[in-house]
Amino acid sequence: MTTTTTPTVPFNRLLLTGAAGGLGKVLRERLRPYAHVLRLSDIADMAPAADASEEVQPCDLSDKQAVHHLVEGVDAILHFGGVSVERSFEEVLGANISGIFHIYEAARRHGVKRVIFASSNHVIGFYKQTETIDAHSPRRPDSYYGLSKSYGEDMASFYFDRYGIETVSIRIGSSFPEPQNRRMMHTWLSFDDLTQLLERALYTPNVGHTVVYGMSDNLDTWWDNRYAAHLGFTPKDNSEVFRAQVETQPPVAADDPAKVYQGGAFCAAGPFGD
């Protein structure tokens, strides 16, 4: 696996929301070179600050005043917080929809000019796996979760047009140590490639609102990143090294959403509350 180049000028203070989540725990270590102080936030329990280079500040994203306090004094925001799987609309509403509004309002009030938004492939999940799409393709959310990420991208666009806050929205595919199934052979994003993408998102000037698909250099992909070429993101890893072990899994039925749609099982989750 490869590693990214550490920038020569770290930020004074970066905020990472969702620090207790799966990716948050990975990024807690990987983001240290990019800031003198890394402020870590989540509603769930987090490990105490390791040293003076970390600040641990619990926060409920649905609490507007708490978010405003959280954002005070930071130079840029990596927003990975919120519900990360499909749930009922009511469960998604607070953290993902109200939460993204609170993040951008706090950024506006505190003069933060760069946000990295952890969007998702589930913004376009109802495209067929036989299709190739880019950032200009109309969104086709596959779930309430996907709808919340689509709303977040609109929020990013609005806050750039209205207030000049720049955002890179990363439509993360499947970021795990290795792909877990055949679908993820297309969508896999290694931790090293994610780290490089975050570096480019933080340091590339004049990004406006850029949408980029978060994927490694996989052999077969459904996504075209031509409209994010200015980021200079050049993934190094490839899911093919896991091909043999993934192919030992039982075949998926032809009509299974995991084989039909880019969003996989999310396209069939719910309804909730019936």
* Residues identified as active-site: 145
- 6-21 pLDDT, tens digit per residue, is 556 899 999 999 999 9
Encoded amino acid at 122, one letter: H
The H-or-E segment that residue 103 falls in is helix 99-110
For residue 110, pLDDT over 80 is answered with: yes
Task: Decide: helix, strand or coil at residue 210.
Answer: strand
Residue 1's pLDDT band (cuts 50, 70, 90): very low
Q: Which of 258, 262, 223 is nearest to 128 (CA)?
A: 262
* Number of other residues whose CB lies within 10 A of the CB of residue 68: 17
pLDDT number for residue 2: 43
pLDDT number for residue 274: 76
- 177-222 pLDDT, tens digit per residue, is 999 999 999 999 999 999 999 999 999 999 999 999 999 999 999 9
User: 11-268: CATH homologous superfamily?
Assistant: NAD(P)-binding Rossmann-like Domain (3.40.50.720)
Encoded amino acid at 253, one letter: A
The whole-angstrom separation of Cα 207 and Cα 128 is 29
**CA end-to-end distance (rounded Å), the chain:** 46
DSSP 149: H
What tokens were used for 216? 């490694």
- Are the C-beta atoms of residues 61 and 84 closer than 8 Å to each other? no
Contacts of 137 (CB under 8 A, 6+ apart): 124, 127
pLDDT number for residue 147: 98
For residue 260, pLDDT over 80 is answered with: yes
Mean pLDDT of the chain: 96
Distances (CA, A) of 3 to 7, 61, 175, 237: 12, 32, 16, 10
- Are the C-beta atoms of residues 110 and 70 closer than 8 Å to each other? no
pLDDT number for residue 95: 95
The whole-angstrom separation of Cα 117 and Cα 126 is 21
pLDDT number for residue 4: 46
pLDDT number for residue 5: 52
Alpha carbon 171 to its chain's center: 6
Q: For the chain, what are the domain ranges?
A: 11-268
